[in-house]
Amino acid sequence: MKARRSARVSTTATGSCRTARGMQWDIMLADLSQGGCRIEDPQGRLRLGEYVRLYIAGTGPHVAEVAWRQGAWIGLEFARPLPERVLIGLAAADGSDLAPVRRVL
């Protein structure tokens, strides 16, 4: 797993995930940064290295690669960093306080 380059913030932003294999489903983000996000994938639909398109709270598509899996949690790395204004808007839209999230392993 690569070292994180940008701080993550808690969020409950919702959206959808689409794969090149034609699957699509609704998602809720657990945290978000300019470089990526974490979502839950309890059905194991996503594979390491797979690319997806995310549509988050009316923004997107955001192309992302599945960077890691830990149980049902998936870490996605954006192909292009989110602009800071988009990150702030997504985090603030759901009432989160932009507090950094600590990573727990």
Query: Phi then psi for 13, rounded to 5 degrees?
Result: -60, 145
CATH classification at residue 76? 2.40.10.220
Residue-wise pLDDT tens digits, 31-85: 999 999 999 999 999 999 999 999 998 889 999 999 999 999 999 999 999 988 8
Tally of domains in the chain: 1
Angle at 33 between CA 99 and CA 41, to 5 degrees: 105
Contact 27, 37 (CB under 8 A): no
Note whether residue 12 is domain-resident.
no
Note whether residue 100 is domain-resident.
no
Tell me the residue range of the domain where 71 lies: 17-93
Note whether residue 88 is domain-resident.
yes
